[in-house]
């Protein structure tokens, strides 16, 4: 019992000494420093450095930790050491280093505790865009993916091209697709602008799906590299209009990563075959689409995806893949996969995979 009383006495004595020590330091720093006791517990912070920190706006350790998280977390410790010396005015580098080390270790420990109870992130949903000429068979291909293969029904969400939105715009039900084909020189820019808008709408509408694979019909990249290029070269979109289009294309894509697919599937068919299929399906708006236009679109697809096919430049051979990934692909797929590359390729899809059917 006597030993226990003696132990309690020693603890109380130690606490009194600590309070007296802190009280002396507070007096040295002035009355306006009250409430900053926790800063004085940081190695490297004495009365002078405390005053400098408070004058800089750090009223407690919590503010200093938050500032570190916002400005320096994940960076070299030297950046905070330099800040403490140059901006706060801490003269001795060893003091700045001690403060930085203490704050860094405290923040890392707090984040470790927080993250230990965090839920694992869900697996990333994959998006493939199916590309190809008018009437190449994209819609049929997408329908058969889910109708003919039972195993894929619960895995794949098909997102068809938003043609219905182009055929029914606003309360007056304008048909911008029909207007474009009827008078392309007047409506080319308006149509391509609205196509982009509807792809953004469609991406947002389908982004919350639970199925792990999303197959979308065409992308904003084929819009720009095939269709916008075609109407510009045909003089249906003038220099001012294409400059306006390009001025917003990159900025919008950069802030909407959902528009960037994980891979492309390119459906290939001759323009003559596409023309026959188009005549067979008899979509009213396509009555004025000529065979020459289909040849032009075919050439634009080829030059976008296979810019230097004859010399195998502009694509990466699958043999250059790591062997573990190469061996994981079925030969029928592996031999048809290539990787987008070239100065003409948009930076966000550089070296992205594409399957050539």
| Boundary of a domain, candidates 82, 115, 148 | 115
Residues 133 and 257 in one domain: yes
What pLDDT, on the 0 to 100 scale, is given for residue 328?
54
- Condensed to tens digits (0 to 9), the pLDDT of residues 216-260 reads 999 999 999 999 999 999 999 999 999 999 999 999 999 999 999
Asked if residue 299 is part of any domain, the answer here is yes
Asked if residue 1 is part of any domain, the answer here is no
What pLDDT, on the 0 to 100 scale, is given for residue 216?
96
Residues 268 and 202 in one domain: yes
Residues 136 and 231 in one domain: yes
Three-class secondary structure of residue 261 per DSSP: coil
Domain count, the chain: 2
Residues 153 and 199 in one domain: yes
C-alpha–C-alpha distance, residues 192 and 176, integer Å: 10
Domain of 275, in residue numbers: 126-356
Residues 252 and 314 in one domain: yes
HSE-CB at 134 with a 13 A cutoff on CA atoms is 26
Q: What burial class does residue 294 get, using C-beta atoms within 10 Å of its C-beta: 0-12 exposed, 13-18 middle, 19+ buried?
A: buried
What pLDDT, on the 0 to 100 scale, is given for residue 281?
85
What pLDDT, on the 0 to 100 scale, is given for residue 319?
35
What pLDDT, on the 0 to 100 scale, is given for residue 327?
53
**CATH number of the domain within which 210 lies:** 3.40.50.300
217 is catalytic: yes
Asked if residue 13 is part of any domain, the answer here is no
C-alpha–C-alpha distance, residues 201 and 197, integer Å: 6
Residues 131 and 107 in one domain: no
Residues 100 and 146 in one domain: no
What pLDDT, on the 0 to 100 scale, is given for residue 129?
95
What pLDDT, on the 0 to 100 scale, is given for residue 246?
96
pTM of the entire predicted model = 0.61
110: Cα separation from own chain's centroid: 28
Residues 188 and 232 in one domain: yes
Residues 337 and 197 in one domain: yes
Asked if residue 91 is part of any domain, the answer here is yes
Asked if residue 297 is part of any domain, the answer here is yes
What pLDDT, on the 0 to 100 scale, is given for residue 309?
55
Which H or E run includes 13? helix 2-29
What pLDDT, on the 0 to 100 scale, is given for residue 324?
46
Which of these is catalytic: 78, 217, 233, 284? 217
- Condensed to tens digits (0 to 9), the pLDDT of residues 284-299 reads 778 778 999 999 999 9
Taking 50 as the pLDDT cut, the residues of the chain under it are 4-5, 7-8, 11-12, 14-35, 310-325
Asked if residue 96 is part of any domain, the answer here is yes
Residues 109 and 133 in one domain: no
What pLDDT, on the 0 to 100 scale, is given for residue 133?
95
């Amino acid at each position: 019992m006597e030993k226990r009383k003696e132990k309690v006495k020693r603890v109380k004595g130690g606490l009194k000494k600590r309070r007296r020590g802190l009280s002396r330091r507070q007096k040295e720093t002035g009355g306006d420093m009250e409430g900053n006791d926790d800063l004085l517990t940081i190695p490297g912070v004495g009365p002078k450095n405390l005053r400098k920190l408070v004058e800089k706006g750090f009223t407690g350790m919590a503010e200093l930790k938050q500032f570190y998280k916002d400005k320096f977390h994940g960076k070299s410790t030297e950046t905070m050491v330099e800040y403490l010396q140059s901006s706060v005015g801490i003269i001795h580098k060893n003091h700045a280093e001690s403060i930085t080390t203490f704050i860094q270790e405290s923040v890392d420990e707090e984040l470790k505790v927080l993250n230990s109870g965090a839920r694992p992130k869900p697996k990333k949903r994959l998006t493939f865009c199916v590309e190809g000429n008018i009437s190449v068979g994209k819609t049929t291909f997408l329908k058969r993916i889910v109708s003919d293969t039972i195993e894929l029904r619960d895995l794949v969400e098909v997102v068809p091209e938003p043609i219905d939105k182009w055929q029914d715009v606003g309360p007056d039900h304008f048909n911008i697709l029909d207007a474009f084909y009827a008078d392309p020189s007047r409506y080319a820019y308006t149509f391509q602008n609205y196509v982009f808008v509807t792809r953004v709408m469609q991406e947002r509408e389908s982004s919350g799906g639970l199925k792990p694979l999303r197959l979308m019909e065409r992308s904003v990249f084929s819009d720009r590299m095939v269709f916008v290029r075609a109407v510009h070269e045909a003089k249906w979109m003038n220099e001012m209009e294409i400059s306006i289009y390009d001025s917003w294309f990159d900025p919008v894509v950069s802030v909407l990563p959902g528009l960037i697919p994980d891979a492309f599937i390119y459906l290939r068919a001759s323009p003559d075959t596409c023309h026959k299929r188009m005549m067979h399906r008899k979509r009213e708006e396509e009555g004025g689409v000529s065979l020459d236009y289909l040849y032009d679109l075919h050439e634009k697809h080829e030059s976008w995806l296979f810019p230097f096919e004859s010399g195998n430049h502009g694509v990466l051979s699958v043999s250059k893949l790591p062997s573990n990934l190469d061996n994981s692909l079925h030969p029928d797929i592996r031999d048809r996969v290539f990787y987008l590359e070239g100065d003409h390729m948009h930076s966000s899809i550089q070296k992205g995979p594409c399957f050539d059917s």
